[in-house]
Amino acid sequence: MEKRYLLVMKYENEVITKSFYTLKEAKITDKVENQQEWLTTIIDLEDENIEWQGEEE
């Protein structure tokens, strides 16, 4: 099983990413980080609308 959700967190000039198997896990961490004043977004890595850059392997 591969991790499917990516949580991107930003605070001032720092950016951190964490990956999760389920959306529920990502949302729990998202809520905690928002309480610590981080800006966050959750990305579904299997979303067909994502435009990936670079070479495909």
- Which of 51, 50, 40, 49 is closest to 17 using CA atoms? 40
C-alpha to C-alpha distance for 57 and 29, rounded to whole angstroms: 31
Q: Kindly report whether the global pTM for this prediction surpasses the value 0.75.
A: yes
Three-state secondary structure call for residue 35 = helix
Q: What are the pLDDT digits (tens) for 4-52?
A: 999 999 999 999 999 999 999 999 999 999 999 999 999 999 998 988 8
Count of other CB atoms within 10 angstroms of residue 49: 5
Taking the CA atoms of the chain, what radius of gyration do you get in angstroms? 13
Q: Has residue 23 been placed in a domain?
A: yes
Q: Has residue 34 been placed in a domain?
A: yes
Please tell me the predicted confidence (pLDDT) of residue 53: 85
Q: Has residue 51 been placed in a domain?
A: no
Please tell me the predicted confidence (pLDDT) of residue 57: 63
Q: Has residue 49 been placed in a domain?
A: no
Number of domains, the chain: 1
Residues of the domain holding 39: 5-44
Q: Has residue 50 been placed in a domain?
A: no
